[in-house]
Amino acid sequence: MIEKFELNLECAALLEINNIYMRGGKYTANLDMRIEAPSLIFSGTDNDYPATISAFSYSWSLIKNIGDVGRYTSIAKDVTFGETEHPTDWLSSSSFTYDAGFIWQRFAEQHGTGFQPITLPDDPKRSPVIIGNDVWIGTRAYIRGGVTIGDGAIVGNDAVVTKDIPPYAVVVGNPGRIVKYRFPEPIIERLLRLEWWRFAYTDFGGIDIRNVPEAISSLEDLCSSGRIAPYNPMSLTFRDLKEMGTRPNDLAHFLRNARIAATQSR
């Protein structure tokens, strides 16, 4: 269920203390959306889907038409996700053909109409965008609806992405094309097996992240010896925010309990 709600400045400040960065103001979102700490949503939401914005990820762009955002993902400014694609093989491509509630609604009510908009057929392009872990999306990129961006992928500035992107691919241009992969295939396979994003980077002390093969080996050793554990983040839903976004005392109590629960389960 998508609803509108307000997050006031005092509650936004409480979230920030708990490493969830959201501006005070009005939000529109599916109330089953979830946000993990730490993370940042700078430009608001207008999202129909019960997405999770995962820990260590941030977006300077509007969260819209998103199915999920993995961990350690970086979304730059002015990125567009899965905007509605108009019909191109009907009499008109105008929104009047399929959306009775669009900007001409008052005109239709004033003049009367025998025309009934037609529901757009199911189309993968009208599905949400799924974003993996450790993804970097550059400024002004366009990601078509239904696209899945694999773990570790990079989307360049101004790229137009119309197809799924494999893990660790680097995509640029219009139309978007793969120009290279970040690492050789054996390294990519090890990274995908390791799923290093399960962990908090604060546990990476002593690991040289510039030497990827050695970093993988170090993390594999930590995993096999039980010296590192997956990070269990504090989180809350947008339903929680709707209920407590203007009630700072209630939100503070909720966040305190959520922190305790997350710590005890690690």
100: pLDDT confidence band, cut at 50, 70 and 90?
confident
Reply yes or no: is the peptide bond before residue 233 cis, omega within 30 of 0.
no
pLDDT for the residue 124: 56
pLDDT tens digits, one per residue of 16-51 = 999 999 999 999 999 999 999 999 999 999 999 999
pLDDT tens digits, one per residue of 182-212 = 999 999 999 999 999 999 999 999 999 999 9
Within a 10 A sphere around the Cβ of 252, how many other Cβ atoms? 16
User: Catalytic residue at 86?
Assistant: yes
Please state, in angstroms and as integers, the Cα–Cα distance from residue 228 to each residue in 202, 224, 264, following that order: 11, 9, 16
| This prediction's pTM | 0.90
Within a 10 A sphere around the Cβ of 241, how many other Cβ atoms? 25
How far is 202 from 190, CA to CA, in rounded Å? 21
Mean pLDDT along residues 101-114: 78
- DSSP E strands: which ranges in the chain? 2-7, 20-22, 25-30, 34-36, 39-41, 46-47, 52-53, 57-59, 66-69, 74-75, 80-81, 129-131, 136-137, 142-143, 148-149, 154-155, 160-161, 169-172, 177-181, 235-237
Cβ atoms of residues 149 and 143 within 8 Å: yes
How far is 127 from 83, CA to CA, in rounded Å? 10
pLDDT over 90 at 265, yes or no: no
pLDDT tens digits, one per residue of 3-13 = 999 999 999 99
- In the chain, where the domains are located: 86-120, 184-232
Catalytic residue among 23, 86, 163, 242: 86
Residue with tokens 């400045």: 9
pLDDT for the residue 119: 79
